[in-house]
Amino acid sequence: MKEILGIDVGATGIKGAIVNIEEGKLITDRIKYPTPKPATPLAMTEVMKKLVEDHNWKGKPIGMGFPAIIKDGVALSASNIDDSWLDFPIVGFLSKKLKSPINVVNDADAAGIAEQKFGDDTPKKGLVILLTLGTGIGSAVFNNGVLIPNTELGHMKWKDSVVEKYVSNNARETKELSYKTWGKELNRVLNHIEFVLSPDHIIIGGGISKKFHKYEEFLDCSATVAPAKMLNNAGIVGAAMVAPI
Ligand code: BGC
């Protein structure tokens, strides 16, 4: 089966589309609903149900990216969603509620899987790191194309908090930072990541990847740095790619 419903769950929006997973392309317009507040399992599941109905997808396999550490079908973190997701058996719960076979992976890992496979000229060799800069910061780390799942580089300690509180797109907007101030701080974070992990290539993902030209001049790294090639669709495409088929 090459057409799959991909659902990209974020702290701000929940998006879905049918994806051709052989070509890495959306074949329907993406539908986006706001993430309910509080973002509890029941409230978020109602939105996911709507997406399943919108696409007439009951009973068919679904792939999902979710903004948490996901191990053995269980959500193990809840940074920008309700705490009740902690230790929540997400895969078992959603497969019952959505009445479809489903697989769930971390949202940044999903985006990285899509970029590695379908991102034009994204290196497939060496250490490649994707950072999604959105409400929080997600990361996906690949060594020679193999994913090391559930890395949380956005949660490295930074100043008096963690990285995502300083250089997510949300931090830029809420603190009303100029691209120069924010870009220089992002550069310091990337330099620190370089020191710790020695990546060959860094991909900047999330909605802010579209504005790469506005902060590119402030980035000075040994690794090559480029915006995500699939821009904001990587999350949905990668989600569809992990569906249980
Ligand atoms: C979460 C990650 C997630 C990222 C992007 C972070 O706050 O801890 O798991 O990938 O946000 O949604």
> For residue 184, what is the domain's CATH number?
3.30.420.40
pLDDT of residue 1: 67
Low pLDDT (below 70) residues in the chain: 1
Q: Which of 76, 77, 79, 236 to mutate to test the pocket of ligand 1 (most atoms within 8 A of CB)?
A: 79
**Residue 89: domain span:** 3-109+234-241
Please provide the DSSP assignment of 116-157 as one string.
Answer: HHHSTT---SSEEEEEEESSSEEEEEEETTEEETT--GGGSE
137 and 215 part of one domain: yes
Determine how many CB atoms are found less than 10 A away from the CB of residue 18.
Answer: 21
pLDDT of residue 244: 97
Residue 126 placed within a domain: yes
pLDDT of residue 122: 84
126 and 217 part of one domain: yes
59 and 102 part of one domain: yes
CA 85 to chain centre: 17
**pTM as predicted:** 0.97
Number of domains in the chain: 2
- Is ligand 1 within 6 A of the CB of residue 107? yes
Cα 199 from Cα 143, distance rounded (Å): 9
